[in-house]
Amino acid sequence: MVEFRVFRFDPEKNKEPEFQSYEFDPYKGMTILEGLYYILENLDSSLAFRSSCREAVCGSCAMHINGIYRLACKTQIEILKSPITIRPLSHLPVIKDLVVDLTPFFNHFKEIKPYLIPKESPPEKEYIQSVKEREKINDWLDCILCGACYGSCPVCAQDDKYLGPHALLKALRFVDDSRDGGAKERIAFVTQNSGVFRCHTIFNCREVCPKDLDPTKAIAKLKLKAVFKKF
């Protein structure tokens, strides 16, 4: 038997959030997401949560599970101690139960212009990128925009204007891309008041990232690039 203590809140109906307990027999290898689906299908059809790929690719199932932000589809029940407490991502308005409004998160992402900006004189046919140039961005590519880093960051909690680890990591991904012509513009943007220098190097983002990325390192690199104007 396992007990799930799930955060429940419907802003239209409830004044205060509460935790609701569900008990069931998990099978071997059952994930938290499968557990939530079990509850939805067998115990309580009113439970709301997000998911899509079920294989740690889409980033939609990030939530706070037994004290750590994780992907529900990538976390097996048997590695956790029951009762398993599940809350939504922090610092974002709750729409219902485990579903949060990701608008601020994606707005910050859009702000850094997450696409290649053409160089002044683009090549006639295509940009050629060498293996070495490609390797430079290897460490920043795999972000699935799950929001775990954003939820875990105390600076995001205090300042909704702070760009957040996800947006800053993506900014470096484009700054370091040999095909991008917007490095100067991006660095100027991330050095604004709510940019890289608001980061207190707390390392939470690095600790929780389900794709083992290191936003803290990316932010440190952006800081140095801003100081030495190396871009």
Partner 1 sequence: MNQKTSFSSAYGWFIQRITGILLAFFLIVHINILHFGEKFFIDFNMVTERLQGSFWWGIFYIIFIPVVLFHALNGVWGLVQDYRPSSGLQKTVKAFFWTLGIVATFYGILAITTFL
Give residues in contact with partner 1 (CB under 8 A).
111-113, 155, 158-159, 161, 185-186, 188-189, 191-193, 195, 197-198, 223, 226-227, 229
Nearest approach, Cβ of residue 196 and ligand SF4 (Å)? 15
Contact pick of 35, 88, 104, 147 for ligand SF4 (by CB under 6 A): 147
Q: How far apart are the C-alpha atoms of 9 and 16, rounded to whole Å?
A: 7
Q: How far apart are the C-alpha atoms of 48 and 187, rounded to whole Å?
A: 39
Contact 64/88 with Cβ under 8 angstroms? yes
What's the distance, CA 210 to chain centroid?
Answer: 9
Nearest approach, Cβ of residue 81 and partner 1 (Å)? 34
Contact pick of 32, 61, 84, 199 for ligand FES (by CB under 6 A): 61
CA-nearest of 206, 195, 199 to 155 is: 199
Distances (CA, A) of 153 to 117, 169, 224: 29, 14, 21
Helix 183-190 vs helix 215-228: crossing angle, to nearest 10? 110
Nearest approach, Cβ of residue 166 and ligand SF4 (Å)? 4
35 binds ligand FES (CB under 6 A): no
Residues 70-89 binding ligand FES (CB under 6 A) are 71, 73
Nearest approach, Cβ of residue 187 and partner 1 (Å)? 9
Cβ closer to ligand SF4: 26 or 104? 104
Q: How far apart are the C-alpha atoms of 156 and 17, rounded to whole Å?
A: 22
Three-class DSSP category at 7: strand
Residues 12-71 binding ligand SF4 (CB under 6 A) are 59
Residues that bind ligand FES in the complex, under the rule CB under 6 A? 51-54, 56-61, 71, 73
